[in-house]
Structure 1
Amino acid sequence: MRPTKTDFTATKTRFNLPENVIYLDGNSLGALPKGVAERVQRVVNDQWGTSLIRGWNDHGWIHTPSTIGDRIGQLIGAAPGTVLCTDNTSINVFKVLGAALKLRPDRKVILSDTGNFPTDLYMAQGLNQLLDAGHELKLVAPEEVEAALDDTIAVMMVTEVDYRTGRRHDMKHLTKAAHDAGALAIWDLAHSAGAFPVKLDACDADFAIGCGYKYLNGGPGAPAFVYANKKHHETMRTPLAGWWGHAAPFDFDLNYRPASGIDQMRVGTAPILAMAAMDAALDLWDDVDLEDIRTRSVDLCELFIAEVEARCPELELASPRDANVRGSQVSFRSQNGYAVMQALIAAGVIGDFRAPDIIRFGFTPLYISLEDVVRAAEILEDTLKFRKWDKPEYSVRAAVT
């Protein structure tokens, strides 16, 4: 185990965590940071309750997408003025993909991979149908993305960390390969932001999107974020022309004029209560070193792999063994994966299941300890050894898996 400057024993105390629960699903929904509920209540009572409509000016609500966006930008290697906290991931995919395709009008192919999260692919398919201009979505295996880049590709759109397996793309290398082929690069950071250092500007990424409710702990349905490289600010045009993205929204022009820079990626009114929760959650990062987060994450994941493989030889590692090409999650294949995960949850180890056979465990160093990892592996071993998963109720699929 490598030493770190961040005190992870202290960071764990900054979360409201249920007793007797080992929470290994922060890659789906982050835990509740202390102070979030109080902040939201304060905005409800002291701002909305007393200032009413004046809150947009008196409390700076109008600026929250930019101010919170800049805070997120510090975690993803993005310069001030290049990130907005706004909308949800799916809507932001639509915006940046539409903008990117306009910047490459002579090309019609969107390249992605079969490990990409489905909503990104659905948005691409829907946009292609809407444009009705001959665009197509080309899917290849994750390891074949670079080889598929050629002079037909307009946009390479990939998720940095595969949501099922945790496989991690090399952002800098693939972005350069895309640019060498004349294509633009869009990165989905849903499983990256807050999990390890991201360096969008240094990698010369063109656009990026990501969510606020996983490793950033912004709460269920937290506002997402969108990034656009400064080199595109004067020429990009989003396909969603909302009034908040207008150059002067309170002029109430009948014709749309895009705001300058990243502000044109705004669409509608910001959800101020959700923004308050997101802003409060980001306070956690003020004294945390992202390099320490990565070091600790690797230690946690490596320990879990070793413990599980020693205790549960019937499980197959689905994640890359090499930490350099793995995010902050570990996945195993299990023939009875859904039932196994339900039994684990009942025993106090919360992970999740991804079809068809993946049991998935996310590691958030801010609140997961080495002791938690060993105990989780012991419970998994017990669950398999004594077939505790083999109960009818554990095979009944819930709406969310």
Structure 2
Amino acid sequence: MSEARGPAGRADVEAKAKELDAGDQLAAKRAEFVLDDGVYLDGNSLGALPVHVEARVVDVISRQWGSLRIRSWAESGWWTAPERIGDRVAPLIGAAPGQVVVSDSTSVNVFKALVAAVRMIRDEGGAGAAARDEIVVDATTFPTDGYIAESAARLTNCRIVPADPADVPGLLGPRTAVVLLNHADYRAGRLHDLPGLTAAVHAAGALVVWDLCHTAGALPVGLDEHGVDLAVGCTYKYLNGGPGSPAFLYVRRGLQDRFDTPLPGWNSHVEPFGMRPGYEPAADITRGRVGTPDILSLLALDAALDVWEGVSMTAVRAKSLALTDFFLECVEAYVPAGHVESITPVAHAERGSQVALRCPDAEGVMKRLVQQGVVGDFRPPDLLRFGFTPLYLTFADAERAARVLGRTLAEASTGS
């Protein structure tokens, strides 16, 4: 096994891990999750299961569905669940109640937000409104966002302008209708400047849509504070809602009566049970809905959100930064020189809640890590990606993961 190297030896980082864990304000939260004796660093793909969710889902199936059946739409609150659970997500992303609805997938919500944004900007009237025919899209975005943006552009007779987020202000102009940006790069974990970019988009007279998939539940977002127009995000990563749990859509209150959805389903009708042939949208965030809610997944998410009771997002962010700082310190201590390169920003203001390491044969290395109980993920062509979920990870976890990584790479280099 390789010995620790660099400025801190193994004894030093182990001692530091114990010290940091002893002072962890969120340490008690770990007991609220189902975990094994490994190190789970893939919460940026699928969060761990909160311990109480199983019993709640059993109740939904056996009592609400099994016994109450159709009555549960009213008696169990099924019908209003998308808005009620949206109000539970809202404070985690810096939004007041009545601005978030939980429904559909991230991809569907991106489509709704982009098309509606183009329609709203053109309907504003004024000089040049009709000429706004460009959708600026984060060129580093998760592929689906790009696919959806291309479709939205065809539907609205717009053209796509791909851009690195840092270059967006220089590309904005009188033809810009909407800008789609990721709050954090899913590969490197780079955090983009939500306040500054939002202000730049507004100065150009356009609307902005933020994808919060890799930040919701990991750090303060401040949607209301920074005047964000629209935002989307998944709930199965840092919010721990379960595989395929429904996504959320945020529509700023001042835009809700103008939100012109391209998917006008019966659930967003002002009178859904009136069964009218003509569509008339609801006046509030309800118009972000489309069809019948996915009740089983939705209520599993509702149960999972209980773990956030009493949690400060400021404390979550502080632990996230401390965990990622410490993990990088441990990598420096344990990993043989030249074997990995971190592409995650050093500056806290530019870092999300993950660490990405460039590494030869990254796919094979990750497979060997998983075999040893350290679960991260691989992103082609050469990235090891480790997500740090502050609610259930410890500093001892970070030290152990780096130690196993160092040993694995040392063994690979010697052929042992």
Scaled by the length of structure 2, what TM-score is found?
0.90
Task: Give secondary structure in 2 for the equivalent of 1:208.
Answer: strand
Q: Return the alpha-carbon distance in structure 2 between the equivalents of residues 307 and 6 of structure 1.
A: 18
Q: Return the alpha-carbon distance in structure 1 between the equivalents of residues 357 and 415 of structure 2.
A: 18
1:217 is the counterpart of 2:240: yes
- Residue 100 of structure 1 corresponds to 117
1:27 is the counterpart of 2:44: yes
**Equivalent residue for 2:300, pick from 265, 269, 277:** 277
Q: Return the alpha-carbon distance in structure 1 between the equivalents of residues 23 and 172 of structure 2.
A: 41
The answer as to whether partners of 2:270 and 2:283 remain within 8 angstroms in 1 is yes
The answer as to whether partners of 1:115 and 1:162 remain within 8 angstroms in 2 is yes
**Equivalent residue for 1:184, pick from 191, 207, 214:** 207
Q: 1:346 to 1:238 in 2, by over 3 A?
A: same
- Residue 168 of structure 1 corresponds to 191
Higher mean C-alpha displacement, 233-242 vs 103-112: 103-112
Q: Which amino acid aligns with 2:110?
A: V
The answer as to whether partners of 1:383 and 1:389 remain within 8 angstroms in 2 is no
The answer as to whether partners of 2:113 and 2:230 remain within 8 angstroms in 1 is yes
Task: Give secondary structure in 1 for the equivalent of 2:244.
Answer: coil
The answer as to whether partners of 1:168 and 1:325 remain within 8 angstroms in 2 is yes
- Residue 342 of structure 1 corresponds to 367
Structure 1, residues 51-87: CA drift from partner, whole Å, max 9, x if none?
1111101111000000000000011111111000111
Structure with higher Rg: it is 2
Q: Which amino acid aligns with 1:345?
A: V
Q: Return the alpha-carbon distance in structure 2 between the equivalents of residues 266 and 316 of structure 1.
A: 44
- Residue 356 of structure 1 corresponds to 381
Deviation at residue 116 of structure 1 after TM alignment: 1.1
Task: Give secondary structure in 2 for the equivalent of 1:386.
Answer: helix
1:17 is the counterpart of 2:35: yes
Task: Give secondary structure in 1 for the equivalent of 2:179.
Answer: strand
Q: Return the alpha-carbon distance in structure 1 between the equivalents of residues 415 and 225 of structure 2.
A: 50
Matches within 5 A, 1:26-65: 26-65=43-82
Deviation at residue 341 of structure 1 after TM alignment: 0.8
Deviation at residue 143 of structure 1 after TM alignment: 2.1
Gaps of 5+ in 2: 1-18, 123-129
Q: Return the alpha-carbon distance in structure 1 between the equivalents of residues 330 and 249 of structure 2.
A: 38
Task: Give secondary structure in 2 for the equivalent of 1:209.
Answer: strand
**Equivalent residue for 1:247, pick from 264, 270, 276:** 270
**Equivalent residue for 2:252, pick from 201, 205, 229:** 229
- Residue 200 of structure 1 corresponds to 223
Deviation at residue 5 of structure 1 after TM alignment: 9.0
Q: Which amino acid aligns with 1:157?
A: L
The answer as to whether partners of 1:337 and 1:357 remain within 8 angstroms in 2 is yes
Deviation at residue 389 of structure 1 after TM alignment: 11
1:129 is the counterpart of 2:154: yes
The answer as to whether partners of 1:109 and 1:154 remain within 8 angstroms in 2 is yes
Deviation at residue 128 of structure 1 after TM alignment: 2.0
Q: Which amino acid aligns with 2:217?
A: G
Deviation at residue 390 of structure 1 after TM alignment: 7.8
1:118 is the counterpart of 2:143: yes
The answer as to whether partners of 1:112 and 1:137 remain within 8 angstroms in 2 is yes
Q: 1:389 to 1:141 in 2, by over 3 A?
A: farther
Deviation at residue 309 of structure 1 after TM alignment: 2.6
**Equivalent residue for 2:103, pick from 79, 86, 94:** 86
Task: Give secondary structure in 2 for the equivalent of 1:297.
Answer: helix
Gaps of 5+ in 1: 392-401
Q: Which amino acid aligns with 2:49?
A: L
Task: Give secondary structure in 2 for the equivalent of 1:84.
Answer: strand
- Residue 317 of structure 1 corresponds to 342
Q: Return the alpha-carbon distance in structure 2 between the equivalents of residues 5 and 179 of structure 1.
A: 42
The answer as to whether partners of 2:33 and 2:48 remain within 8 angstroms in 1 is yes
Structure 1, residues 273-299: CA drift from partner, whole Å, max 9, x if none?
111110111000012111110001111
Q: 1:38 to 1:390 in 2, by over 3 A?
A: farther
- Residue 284 of structure 2 corresponds to 261
Task: Give secondary structure in 2 for the equivalent of 1:309.
Answer: helix
Q: 1:168 to 1:251 in 2, by over 3 A?
A: same
- Residue 26 of structure 2 corresponds to 8
Deviation at residue 307 of structure 1 after TM alignment: 1.4
Q: Which amino acid aligns with 1:194?
A: G
Deviation at residue 357 of structure 1 after TM alignment: 1.3
- Residue 173 of structure 2 corresponds to 150
Q: 1:330 to 1:389 in 2, by over 3 A?
A: farther
**How high is the sequence identity, in percent, across the aligned residues?**
45
Task: Give secondary structure in 1 for the equivalent of 2:257.
Answer: coil
- Residue 402 of structure 2 corresponds to 377
Deviation at residue 7 of structure 1 after TM alignment: 3.5
Q: Return the alpha-carbon distance in structure 1 between the equivalents of residues 65 and 413 of structure 2.
A: 50
- Residue 330 of structure 1 corresponds to 355
Task: Give secondary structure in 1 for the equivalent of 2:64.
Answer: helix
Deviation at residue 211 of structure 1 after TM alignment: 0.3
Deviation at residue 170 of structure 1 after TM alignment: 1.2
1:72 is the counterpart of 2:86: no
Q: Which amino acid aligns with 1:67?
A: R
Higher mean C-alpha displacement, 86-95 vs 307-316: 307-316
The answer as to whether partners of 1:319 and 1:332 remain within 8 angstroms in 2 is yes
Runs of 4+ in 1 over 6 A off after TM superposition: 1-6, 388-391
Deviation at residue 2 of structure 1 after TM alignment: 8.3
Task: Give secondary structure in 1 for the equivalent of 2:258.
Answer: coil
Q: Return the alpha-carbon distance in structure 2 between the equivalents of residues 376 and 72 of structure 1.
A: 31
